Amino acid sequence: MDALILSDRGTLTVPAKLRKALGLKSGSLLQAEARDGMLILHPAQVVRYTVYDEAKVKRVLAATEPDPSLAATLRKKAKSRKRAA
């Protein structure tokens, strides 16, 4: 078992052997959780997405001829976002 060093600023130093085994590089994101008195670290996955407002959805629908079911789905989502706002 490898030891991590906790600095006075709360920074953990992960040994090179562990970083290499997990494919971690400088700037890699980790998720942390406390479980049963232990600190558990997991490599984090970043999922990028775009949120379109109603005007953008209308422009896209007007500029293309999408599958009718896709157009219906987009319209429903736009309406539900409008109601939630």
User: pLDDT per residue over 1-59, tens digit each?
Assistant: 888 889 999 999 989 998 999 889 999 999 999 999 999 988 888 888 888 888 888 88
The answer to whether residue 65 scores a pLDDT higher than 90 is no
Q: How confident is the model at residue 80 (pLDDT cuts 50, 70, 90)?
A: confident
Extract the tokens encoding 17: 């052997």
Tokens of 84: 């939630």
CB 4 within 8 A of CB 13: yes
Q: Is the pLDDT of residue 85 over 70?
A: no
DSSP-derived secondary structure letter, 26: T
Q: What is the pLDDT of residue 83?
A: 78
pTM recorded for the entire structure: 0.47
- In this predicted structure, what is the pLDDT of residue 44? 87
d(CA 58, CA 53): 9
Q: Check if the beta carbon of residue 78 is closer than 8 Å to that of residue 57.
A: yes
Q: Are 11 and 4 in contact (CB under 8 A)?
A: no
The arithmetic mean of pLDDT across residues 70-82, rounded, is 82
